[in-house]
Structure 1
Amino acid sequence: MAGIDTAVLADWVSRFGAAVAEKRDWLTELDSAIGDADHGANMDRGMSAVGEKLAAGTPATVDELLKTVGMTLVSSVGGASGPLYGTFFLRMGMAAGAVSELDGPALAAALRAGLDGIVARGKAEAGDKTMFDAMAPAVDAFDAALAADSSVADAARAAAEAAAAGRDATLPLVARKGRASYLGERSAGHLDPGAASTAILFDTLADALAGSAG
C-alpha cells in the first residue's frame, strides 16, 4: 500500500468516532458496573468534538492532525479518558513529526510512543484492568507482524485481534487502578470499559488501513 497519509489517519479518527457513537450505550453500561457510568458519553462527546474540528479541514502534516485530535480530547472529555486518550494521540504526533505520511515502521513507532505516554500518565501495568491490557498487546502484535513481513494492513488487523483478546482478558481481573479499584474483588466479572474502547480504536485502525489498501 502507499504511505499512510493524513487522509487515512483522519479516516481512522472518523471511523473511531462513529464506532464510539454506535457503542456509546454499551461502553456506558460497562462503566456503570465498575466506574462512573460515563465512559461512553464522555468518549462520544470528545470524538464528536474532534469530528467538528476536523470538518473544517484536515491538517497537512501528521503531527498537526494527531495534535489536534489529542488536544481536543484533553479539553472536551471528562474523567480519566480525556487525558489518557489525549496523551496517546499527542505522543503519536510527537513521534511522527511534521511529515505528510507514515510508513509501517513509522506508524509502529508512533503507536508505541502513544502507549508509552499512557503508561507515563496512568502508571498502569499488565493485569491492572485498564486500557493498557488491550493497548499493550495490540502494539506488540503490530510490531511482531511487521517484523514477520506482514503488510501494514495485516499488522493492524493482528493488533486489533490482540486488543480484543486483551479486552476480554480483563473480565476476571480485579482492578488495581482507577475508580474500579475501589470495588476490590467486586470488580471481577466485568470488562474494563477503557480496554473495550481501546479495542474499538484498533479495530477501526485496521478498517481504515484495509480501506486505503483496497
Structure 2
Amino acid sequence: MGFQLTSKDYADYIRKTYELIYSKGDYITALDSATGDGDHWTNINMGFEKLVEVAEELEQKSVFEEFMQIGTIMMSVIGGSSGVLYGSAYLAAAKVLKEKESIGNEELCQVLDAMLQAIISRGNAQKGWKTMIDCLAPAVECYQACIAQGLDEKVTADQVKQAAIDGAESTRDMEAVRGRATYQANKGVGHLDPGAVTMSYQIATLMDFVKEHCE
C-alpha cells in the first residue's frame, strides 16, 4: 500500500481545500472578528481562489515548480502576515521536491515539516502562541512518529488529521502572544485561533485526499 501524488493530484487537492474554506466564510470571519481584524477568511480565501484559477497551469508543472508557483502566488495575493507565512512555507517545501516526480508518504511528511520550520522562522513564533503553528506542529510530530513506527498510510492519515484538528482546538485555551488578541484583557482565551482552524481544514482535506489515493 502507498500513494504518489502528482502535480495534478495536488491541484485537485487545492480545489477541494478551496471549496471547504469558501464554505466556512461566515464561521471563520466570526472567529476572527472576536479576536482580530475579521479579515483572515477573506485573505485566505482570496489566495486559494487565485490558485484554483491557475490550477490547470499548475497541473502541467513538476511538483517542485508547482510548489514554487503556489508560494509566489500566496505571497502576492494573500494580505497581511498570512501571505508572507504561507508563501515562505510553500517555497521552503518546494526545495524538498526538487527533482521529484511525485509526492510519497515520506516526502509529504518532509513537505509539512519544511512548511512548519519556515513558518516558525519567518513568523519568529513557536508552539503555544495561539497561531497556525499549534495546528501544524502536532500534525508534523504525529506524522513523523507514524513513519517511525511503520504505520499503514491510511492509519497515518487518520492520525495526522486528528492531530491537526486537536491542535487547532487546543488554541481555545491559549493566551495570544502575537496579533490583536494580545490587546484584549483575556488575550483571546476562550476563542479558537482562526489561522489554526483554516490550517486544520487544509491538513484534514490533504489527509482525506491521501487516503483516497492509497493503493
Tell me the TM-score normalised to structure 2 length: 0.93
Deviation at 1:57, TM superposition (A): 4.8
Q: Deviations over 1:21-68 (max 9, x none)?
A: 111221111110111101111111110001111133513311111111
Q: Which structure 2 residues correspond to residues 13-32 of structure 1 after superposition, within 5 A?
A: 13-32=14-33
Asked whether the 8 Å contact 1:58–1:65 carries over to 2, the reply is yes
Quick check: 1:87 aligned with 2:77? no
Measure, in 1, the Cα distance between the counterparts of 2:71 and 2:15: 14
Which is further off, 5-14 or 69-78? 5-14
Q: Report what 2:171 is aligned to.
A: 170
Deviation at 1:148, TM superposition (A): 1.6
State the AA in 2 paired with 1:38.
D
Q: Which runs of 5+ in 2 are unaligned?
A: none
Tell me the TM-score normalised to structure 1 length: 0.94
Q: Deviations over 1:84-134 (max 9, x none)?
A: 122222211112213211221122111111110000111111110000111
Q: Which runs of 5+ in 1 are unaligned?
A: none
Runs of 4 or more above 6 Å deviation: none
Deviation at 1:199, TM superposition (A): 0.5
Q: Which structure 2 residues correspond to residues 3-82 of structure 1 after superposition, within 5 A?
A: 3-82=4-83
Measure, in 1, the Cα distance between the counterparts of 2:73 and 2:8: 18
Q: Deviations over 1:170-190 (max 9, x none)?
A: 101110012222225241110
SS of residue paired to 1:101: coil
Q: Report what 2:162 is aligned to.
A: 161
Deviation at 1:5, TM superposition (A): 1.9
Measure, in 2, the Cα distance between the counterparts of 1:157 and 1:75: 33
SS of residue paired to 1:126: coil
Measure, in 2, the Cα distance between the counterparts of 1:10 and 1:37: 28
Q: Give the aligned length.
A: 214
Measure, in 1, the Cα distance between the counterparts of 2:82 and 2:58: 25
Measure, in 2, the Cα distance between the counterparts of 1:25 and 1:80: 21
Measure, in 1, the Cα distance between the counterparts of 2:151 and 2:206: 16
Q: Deviations over 1:111-160 (max 9, x none)?
A: 11111000011111111000011110001111111222123343232111
